[in-house]
Chain A
């Protein structure tokens, strides 16, 4: 086999090994999750606060301006066809089905995902996880599972808040500033948005919550225990989560259309 062929073979084997380990890691988290929710809800709630409540400011500010810009763009394009009353529908569809889940997941990766990765990586680098092992406490159960669950629970809530604030932002821009009729704005939205659209948004937010939290704890737990290693893991969390979320978004949309 040529050197080229050997490199490709080695990389393929390494990829499969990592992917297999990643799946086993996910199963370990899932296996410990019900017990953690029932027996140590306090630990999970603390992580919902850390990943969810502490991300509220960035989510709300971004939600407002994303809704606002959707309102502006929608209005300027629809006005050409005298259809500016439909701007509420356009904004709602875009936010509920696509932008709400996707942008929230990307912001979550940047704010909470990096915090999770670096915290877990630093715990590893400073022997805190080894110390837990030595105290007969499983660090996967005690440290990783509550953080994973915290992210999974927080994400749909953040998506809901992002979407609502986005709709409010669009209302401010189009109704209050561009004089679109308030009744038309909300009535058209109500008439057009289907429960299936909302279900699609909720489904995406749950999937993105699982993926973003899983990647964050995985990268932190497998970080090389040095300052540089933790830094790289943190960067990888954002990059891989962004790619995974966008690919999954396309796949889910294609299946649900």
Chain B
């Protein structure tokens, strides 16, 4: 269980992410998908329950062991989270400079290879402030891959990408997973793109797993909630409107006078 103040975000949440698969975490806005990623990476700690990575309860790790574990992770943040005082090249080189003793020549080789994979080798000398949102996210992806992690976590990787970049990134996620045996966790609203890349999807709603299975299984599911989400319908168990007083009463009530 994890709650923020009086608001319970997750309760009785139970899910397994299999090694070597692309697992998608989907759900309506505000269900806590990003919070779940932060729990998986122990940026947050649940009040009850446990999270195991490779059989180890991550809450039991001391800081040194946690950092060792995190070296096996790569994470793409929703907004890129590039270091604003470093240029694109140095941003991607950052983990290598911090954790390895590679020569500058070798670092240059690795960084340019990763930047080439996301199509931004030509932007190596640019500063983060000069990049568009989509470009910043692609640089962040290159940075997430640069240490060749075992587990790659993507928080909304497809937001703000043009169709060409989107296609390339979707194929890249899939290809890296297949070629390098990486375990990928993708948080996304984008049902169409997730369906092309994920092996298994979890649909999270009301703090627990509402449905799980392959994208085809979710598309064919009978549950009203799953159908509403997968087909983007306005009517269904998930309300479009946040809890609010009666619309007419609020508009015509005394407060408006």
| Size class of the contact patch on chain A | 10 to 19
CA–CA, A131 and B81, complex, Å:
6
A136 touches B71 (CB 8 A): yes
Of A126, A130, A131, A142, which is within 8 A of B98 by CB?
Answer: A142
Of B67, B81, B95, B143, which is within 8 A of A130 by CB?
Answer: B81
Of B43, B67, B78, B143, which is within 8 A of A136 by CB?
Answer: B67
CA–CA, A133 and B81, complex, Å:
12
Closest chain B residue, CB of each to CB of A50: B85
A135 and B94 in contact (CB under 8 A), knowing A126-B79, A127-B77, A127-B79? Answer: yes
In the assembled complex, the CB of B95 is this many whole angstroms from the nearest CB of chain A, namely 5
Task: Give the total number of A-B pairs whose CB atoms are below 8 A apart.
Answer: 52
Q: Which residues of A contact B43 (CB under 8 A)?
A: 130, 133-134
CA–CA, A127 and B84, complex, Å:
11
A123 touches B84 (CB 8 A): yes
In the assembled complex, the CB of A16 is this many whole angstroms from the nearest CB of chain B, namely 23
A127 touches B81 (CB 8 A): yes
Mostly, the A contact residues are helix
In the assembled complex, the CB of B146 is this many whole angstroms from the nearest CB of chain A, namely 9
| Size class of the contact patch on chain B | 20 to 34
Of A128, A138, A142, which is within 8 A of B81 by CB?
Answer: A128
A135 touches B77 (CB 8 A): no
A128 touches B83 (CB 8 A): yes
CA–CA, A132 and B83, complex, Å:
9
A133 touches B84 (CB 8 A): no
B73 on the A face (CB < 8 A): yes
Given contact pairs A126-B81, A130-B81, A133-B43, a sample of 8 additional A-B residue pairs in the complex whose CB atoms are under 8 Å apart: A123-B84, A131-B140, A134-B43, A135-B98, A135-B143, A136-B70, A136-B95, A137-B99
Q: List 27 A-B contacts (CB under 8 A).
A: A122-B84, A123-B83, A123-B84, A126-B79, A126-B81, A126-B84, A128-B82, A130-B43, A131-B75, A131-B82, A132-B83, A133-B43, A133-B70, A134-B43, A134-B70, A134-B73, A134-B77, A135-B70, A135-B98, A135-B143, A135-B147, A136-B70, A136-B71, A136-B95, A137-B98, A138-B63, A138-B67
